[in-house]
Amino acid sequence: MIKGFGILEMLISLSLGLGVLTVIIAHATESGRVAKKITGNQERLEAIFHTVDTIKSDLNKCGMRLQEACKFFNIPGFESSQGNFKVTYGLADEELLENALHGQQTLKIGQNDFFKKDKAVLIYSLARQVWEFNEIGDFSGGNLILKNALQNDFPGNSPVLVLKKVEYKFYPAQRMLKRKTDKGNFQPLLEEVTDFYVTFFPDANSVLYRIEVNKKEQIRGYIFLLNLVQP
C-alpha cells in the first residue's frame, strides 16, 4: 500500500485547490464591493432622510409667532432665490411689562430662557404701527439690554420676539447642500447634490422643493406653511 500522493495526484489536487481558492477570493472581493456599495447607498439614503426631515421641520416652523408682524408689517417669514431659501420664525415671545421709549436700551419683560445674548429680536406695536429689529446685548432678571437704542416708542404689552433664521444654500461646484442658522456658518447637510430648487406659492402658503442626488435620485416635497397662516 502506497501512502501519500503521487506526482500526478499532487498536481491535480494543487490545481483544484488553486481553482477553488481563486473562486473564493473572487467571491469575497465581490461581496466586499457589493457590501460597500449597499452601505454607501444606505448612508446616502440616511443622509437624504435626515435632510428631508430637517427641511420639513424648518418649513413647518416658518413664520411661527410672526403671523401678525408678517401680515401688518410685511416682514417675510419665507424668502427664496435660485438654489437658496431662508426661513424666519419666532423662538419665543414676551410682552413689554412697561412702556419703552425712543432711545431706550433696557426693556422690562418676563423671564424667558430663550432670550439669550446675541439673539435677534423683533419689537412691534400694532397700535403705534411701528416695528424694529434689534439684538440682545444681555438679559438678566427680566431686564433685556439691547445692543442698539430703540428708534421708536413702544407701549406696554408690545410683543418682543426672539427670532431664529435658518438658511439653505446649494453649492453646485461642491455638489453640496448646506444649512446655516442665525449668524453661524454654512454647514454641509447633503453631499452629491446635483440640483436643488425651491418654489414658493404665496397665495397657497406652500413651498415646493426638489433635490437631485447624483443625477439619479430625486426627492420632491410640497409643504404647506402652517405657521404663516393667520385665520
Partner 1 sequence: MSRRGNIVISLMFVLLVSFSGLAMLTHSLLHSKIIGARRSKWQICGGLERVLLLQLHRYWQRLADSDMNEFSAPENDFFNNVNFPDANEGGFRVKNIFSQQAQAPGNGFLKVRIFNRLAASKDNSRLTYCGQASIDLLKGDIPLSEFALLVNKEIAETQAAYLAGKGVEWSSPLIPLPGKPVVEGDCRHLLAETLQLDGEFPDWRQIREKFNLEPSDAPILPGIYLALVADLVEAVFVEGNLQMLEFKAASGRQSIIFWQDNRSFELSYQPGRESMLWNGQEAVNGYKFAEKIIVHGNIWAIEQSGNAAFVSAARIQVLASGKMVISSGLEGENLGLQKTKFANLLLMTSARDFFGGDEINADIVITTGADSTVEAHLLAAGKLIHGDGLLKLSGSLIAGDIQNSGRIQIKALAGQFDFPASLSLKNFQCLQNFRVHFITEGTDE
Using CB under 8 A, which residues numbered 161 to 220 contact partner 1?
none
Instruction: Please return the burial class of 133, using the count of CB atoms within 10 Å of its CB with bins 0-12, 13-18 and 19+.
Output: middle
Q: Is 24 in the site for partner 1 (CB under 8 A)?
A: yes
Q: Is 27 in the site for partner 1 (CB under 8 A)?
A: yes
Q: Is 155 in the site for partner 1 (CB under 8 A)?
A: yes
Q: Closer CB to partner 1, residue 170 or residue 205? A: 205
Q: How far is the CB of 213 from partner 1 (least distance, A)?
A: 17
Q: In 10 A of CB 59, how many CB atoms?
A: 26
Q: Closer CB to partner 1, residue 42 or residue 214? A: 42
Q: Closer CB to partner 1, residue 27 or residue 117? A: 27
Catalog residues that contact partner 1 under the rule CB under 8 A.
4-5, 9, 13, 17, 20, 24, 27-28, 31-32, 34-35, 38-39, 42, 45-46, 49, 57, 60-61, 64-65, 67-68, 71-75, 89-93, 95, 114, 126-129, 155-157, 226-227, 229-231
